[in-house]
């Protein structure tokens, strides 16, 4: 190959790489967020005793959420703010909300902007505003942050970690957490300069380091979405780790939404109550 031909090839490759980079930059949120935009049914049609709840964000969005009261016979006097992962909508979290309610915890199941019939498009800053609105709604219902556990699953762990740094709760539960979103992106797209391109960063470990709130980390032993080693690192670096729970299963297996997860949340709730935090 002549030097002239080599330069042409290099220039062509550079154009391709730049083109791919620009495409990823402009479309990256479509690779991060997978909302089910369909309106969720009324809460009472899915969970007996539950009700629909409106959230008003600081940037002017009116969002819909569900509030599930605690079972009266087991009421612990605390609530769980449930921040979902990046797919589906609140309907797919109904089972976990019922499990928590039966164990005596009230639950606010939020849907982010763009999810579950809500207006707007998801982004890191947008989800932060949505979470702040959920905290305000729970406070109005009689559950201020010191009587609330922030529960995040997958992408929601990034939402919850940042929220907890702004507004410390009684406890934090992180299900399938990552250290920061770029680490997940690098795992799935090793051929891309993810750290240079990524706009929404969700630095979980960095936010946890800012506080001393008790943390429970729950993850599967063979997670193919958020690599298990990332969740292990979150647990290792959490300054106030209460418990690490390892379940047999993958990221979206039913066990990750079931009784073992609810039991872990209750253990943390009982711990913070005994410590006088909740």
pLDDT tens digits for range 59-90: 999 999 999 999 988 999 999 999 999 998 99
Least Cα distance to 263 among 135, 89, 68, 105 occurs for 105
Return mean pLDDT, the chain. Answer: 90
For residue 143, give both structure tokens: 């559950």
Per DSSP, the three-state class of 246 is strand
| Per-residue confidence band for 166, with pLDDT thresholds at 50, 70 and 90 | very high
With a cut of 50, say whether residue 229 has pLDDT above it: yes
Decide: pTM greater than 0.85.
yes
Q: What is the DSSP letter of 196?
A: H
The superfamily in CATH containing domain 33-274 is Alpha/Beta hydrolase fold, catalytic domain (3.40.50.1820)
Question: pLDDT above 70 covers what percent of the chain?
Answer: 88
With a cut of 90, say whether residue 46 has pLDDT above it: yes
Neighbours of 123 (CB within 10 A): 17
Give the residue numbers marked as catalytic: 154, 223, 251
What is the dihedral angle through the alpha carbons of 148, 152, 158, 163, rounded to the nearest 10 degrees? -10
Average pLDDT of the segment spanning 125-138: 98
| Per-residue confidence band for 198, with pLDDT thresholds at 50, 70 and 90 | confident
For residue 222, give both structure tokens: 């063979």
- 77 backbone dihedrals φ, ψ, rounded to 5°: 75, 20
């Amino acid at each position: 190959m002549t030097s002239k031909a080599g330069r042409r090839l290099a220039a062509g490759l550079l154009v391709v790489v730049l083109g791919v980079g620009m495409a990823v930059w402009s479309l990256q949120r479509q690779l991060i967020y997978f909302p089910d935009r369909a309106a969720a049914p009324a809460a009472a049609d899915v969970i007996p005793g539950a009700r629909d709840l409106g959230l008003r964000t600081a940037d002017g969005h009116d969002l819909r959420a569900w509030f599930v009261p605690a079972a009266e016979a087991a009421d612990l006097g605390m609530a769980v703010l449930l921040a979902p992962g990046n797919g589906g909508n609140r309907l797919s979290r109904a089972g976990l909300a019922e499990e928590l309610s039966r164990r005596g915890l009230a639950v606010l199941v939020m849907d982010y902007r763009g999810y579950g019939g809500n207006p707007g498009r998801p982004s890191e800053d947008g989800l932060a505003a949505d979470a702040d609105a959920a905290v305000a709604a729970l406070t109005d219902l009689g559950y201020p942050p010191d009587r609330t556990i922030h529960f995040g699953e997958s992408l929601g762990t990034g939402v919850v970690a940042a929220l907890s740094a702004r507004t410390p709760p009684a406890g934090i539960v992180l299900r399938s957490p990552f250290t920061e979103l770029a680490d997940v992106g690098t795992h799935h797209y090793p051929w891309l300069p993810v750290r240079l391109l990524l706009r929404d960063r969700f630095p979980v470990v960095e936010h946890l380091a800012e506080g001393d709130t008790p943390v429970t980390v729950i993850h599967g032993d063979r997670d193919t979405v958020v690599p298990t080693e990332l969740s292990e690192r979150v647990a290792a670096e959490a300054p106030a780790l209460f418990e690490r729970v390892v379940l047999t299963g993958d990221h979206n297996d039913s066990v990750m939404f079931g009784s073992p997860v609810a039991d872990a949340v209750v253990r943390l709730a009982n711990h913070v109550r005994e410590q006088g935090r909740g």
